[in-house]
């Protein structure tokens, strides 16, 4: 079977450093941190009191009051990001074959606020007062369901739930649908709204979160010796993928090409990565093989880089073991140093960053990298100008879920 070429034609994002792709990208290359004290609830006395929140988000900018009231924050986010992505793509929805257009949108947790609110109602007021919208608002697949309904997209429609790898898996699986001819257009990405008391308490008790409450903007420190855990964040990102032929036929602007997708499992632990990085290495290798590229053709890696000692070390091991001497020629950076960890939405935001790195020839920095224990080039503190023709984007999730994407400059037919 001949593989069809897949291109990126639209992007939309909500992140802790900006609503909209333009704001997100500008703040990213400027090295701005989006980590601050939690305002979505009162965390006084909590071990961790910081997070990456999407500030000044008003769902009424994207939907009416009834829809906003019914939807959990994680679905509000994806509706907003998808609106931007569809507009950015220039798609005229009335002219497309709705059965050839679909979506795959991931989330690690889904409607956690809805679950917590309705559980409190159950305990205080009894079962008859639990909302009939509990299940539809809570389930993870409602993110893709609502976007499908909004745009009347009747092709493939599903979600991926693979913790922090959810968005990368969603993008990769959407890529496969187009590549093998099952769809012409796919919306994909991820969304997450985990900054609620139950979610934060769970991560605190796992000893996963940074407790650098006095200096929030310094808390996310990928690859730095002084890191003490990741910073939990919220947000969403949507990407429009199309077959090259479909995009050219409608005269679409093409940002980049998606050319490779790799997946593996650590098969090791429910939360910790395989220390050797062996499975992450194989994941990247699979993506390169899928793309038909060698290690010396990759210019940049958008690292998973969570700011946890075990995670950072495993990823560095994987990069060194795969790229060998070429590892020291690579530019590598972690967007999480600025946006924190968007969990199931992380790969979506970081894929957009990778696309724009290729487009603009600017590599975002890894901020807070004051005292690294590794000898690779993580682009510390400030962004740099550098031509990037091919890049890898890594996402590795709890449960040992690994996903890598290869993105390249688009070459016109």
> Is the CB of residue 330 less than 8 Å from the CB of residue 298?
yes
**Contacts for 226 with CB less than 8 Å, ≥ 6 apart:** 370, 371
Domain range spanning residue 338? 259-408
**Contacts for 299 with CB less than 8 Å, ≥ 6 apart:** 330, 331, 386, 387, 388, 389, 390, 391
pTM: 0.97
Average the pLDDT over 197-216 and give the result. Answer: 97
Residue 254 lies in a domain: no
Q: Are strands 6-15 and 235-243 parallel, antiparallel or unpaired?
A: antiparallel
Q: Where among 216, 249, 282 does a domain terminate?
A: 249
pLDDT at 413 > cutoff 80: no
Same domain, 282 and 224: no
- Residue 121 is inside which H or E element, if any? helix 112-125
- Confidence class for position 412, pLDDT limits 50, 70, 90: confident
Same domain, 215 and 271: no
Residue 65 lies in a domain: yes
- Please state the separation of Cα 186 from the chain's center in Å: 16
Same domain, 60 and 116: yes
Residue 88 CA to residue 412 CA, distance in Å, equals: 20
> Which residues, listed in sequence order, are joined to residue 8 by a DSSP beta bridge?
241, 256
Residue written as tokens 């796919």?
186
Q: What is the largest CA-CA distance in the chain?
A: 64
Same domain, 128 and 57: yes
Same domain, 134 and 240: yes
**Contacts for 103 with CB less than 8 Å, ≥ 6 apart:** 144, 147, 148, 153, 155, 156, 157, 174, 186, 187, 188
pLDDT tens per residue across span 2-33: 899 999 999 999 999 999 999 999 999 999 99
- Domain tally for the chain? 2
The SS3 of residue 176 is helix
Residue 210 CA to residue 3 CA, distance in Å, equals: 44
Same domain, 290 and 359: yes
pLDDT tens per residue across span 220-269: 999 999 999 999 999 999 999 999 999 999 999 999 999 999 999 999 99
- Give the CA angle between residues 298, 289, 270 to the nearest 5°: 90
The SS3 of residue 9 is strand
Q: 45: how many CB neighbours lie within 10 A of its CB?
A: 6
Same domain, 220 and 263: no
Average the pLDDT over 196-216 and give the result. Answer: 97
Residue written as tokens 């993928």?
241
User: Domain of 316: which CATH number?
Assistant: 3.40.47.10
**Active site (catalytic) residues:** 164, 304, 341
Residue 403 lies in a domain: yes
Residue 413 lies in a domain: no
Residue 367 lies in a domain: yes
Q: Where among 230, 249, 268 does a domain terminate?
A: 249
Same domain, 214 and 350: no
Q: Are strands 256-265 and 6-15 parallel, antiparallel or unpaired?
A: antiparallel
Average the pLDDT over 110-130 and give the result. Answer: 97
Alpha helix stretches (DSSP H) within 132-258:
134-138, 142-151, 166-179, 197-205, 244-249
Q: 281: how many CB neighbours lie within 10 A of its CB?
A: 23
> Is the CB of residue 17 less than 8 Å from the CB of residue 340?
no
> Is the CB of residue 164 less than 8 Å from the CB of residue 396?
yes
Residue 172 lies in a domain: yes
Same domain, 288 and 239: no
pLDDT tens per residue across span 128-173: 999 999 999 999 999 999 999 999 999 999 999 999 999 999 999 9
- Please state the separation of Cα 127 from the chain's center in Å: 36
Residue 278 CA to residue 385 CA, distance in Å, equals: 31
Same domain, 201 and 302: no
Same domain, 240 and 274: no
Q: Where among 249, 278, 304 does a domain terminate?
A: 249
């Amino acid at each position: 079977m001949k593989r069809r070429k897949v291109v990126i034609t639209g992007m939309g994002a909500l992140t802790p450093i900006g609503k909209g792709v333009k704001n997100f990208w500008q703040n990213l290359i400027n090295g701005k941190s989006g980590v601050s004290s939690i305002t979505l609830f009162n965390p006084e006395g909590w071990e961790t009191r910081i997070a990456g929140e999407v500030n000044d988000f008003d769902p009424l900018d994207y939907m009416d009051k009834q829809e906003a009231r019914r939807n959990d924050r994680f679905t509000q986010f994806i509706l907003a990001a998808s609106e931007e992505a569809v507009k950015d793509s220039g798609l005229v929805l009335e002219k497309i074959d709705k059965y050839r257009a679909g979506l795959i949108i991931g989330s690690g947790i889904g409607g956690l606020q809805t679950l917590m609110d309705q559980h409190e109602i159950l305990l205080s007021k009894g079962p008859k007062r639990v909302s009939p919208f509990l299940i539809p608002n809570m389930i993870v697949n409602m993110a893709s369901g609502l976007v499908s309904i909004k745009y009347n997209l009747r092709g493939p429609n599903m979600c991926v739930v693979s913790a922090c790898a959810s968005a990368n898996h969603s993008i990769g699986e959407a890529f496969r649908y187009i590549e093998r001819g099952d769809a012409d257009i796919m919306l994909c990405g991820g969304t997450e709204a985990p900054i609620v008391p139950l979610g934060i308490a769970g991560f605190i008790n796992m000893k996963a979160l940074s407790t650098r409450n006095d200096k929030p903007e310094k808390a996310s420190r990928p690859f730095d010796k002084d890191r003490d855990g990741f910073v939990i964040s919220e947000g969403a990102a949507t990407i429009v993928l199309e077959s090259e032929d479909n995009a050219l036929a409608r005269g679409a602007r093409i940002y980049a090409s998606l050319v490779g997708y790799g997946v593996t499992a650590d098969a090791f632990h429910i939360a910790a990565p395989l220390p050797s990085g062996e499975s992450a290495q194989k994941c990247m290798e699979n993506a390169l093989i899928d793309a038909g590229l060698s290690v010396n053709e990759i210019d940049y890696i958008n690292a998973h880089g969570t700011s946890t000692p075990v995670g950072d070390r495993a990823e560095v091991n994987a990069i060194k073991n795969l790229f060998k001497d070429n590892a020291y020629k690579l530019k590598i950076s972690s967007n999480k140093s600025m946006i924190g960890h968007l969990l199931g939405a992380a790969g979506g935001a970081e894929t957009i960053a990778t696309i724009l790195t290729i487009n603009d020839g600017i590599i975002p920095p890894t901020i807070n990298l004051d005292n690294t224990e590794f000898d690779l080039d993580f682009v510390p503190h400030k962004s740099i100008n550098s031509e990037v023709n091919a890049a890898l984007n890594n996402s590795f999730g709890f449960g040992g879920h690994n996903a890598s994407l290869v993105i390249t400059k688009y070459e016109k037919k």
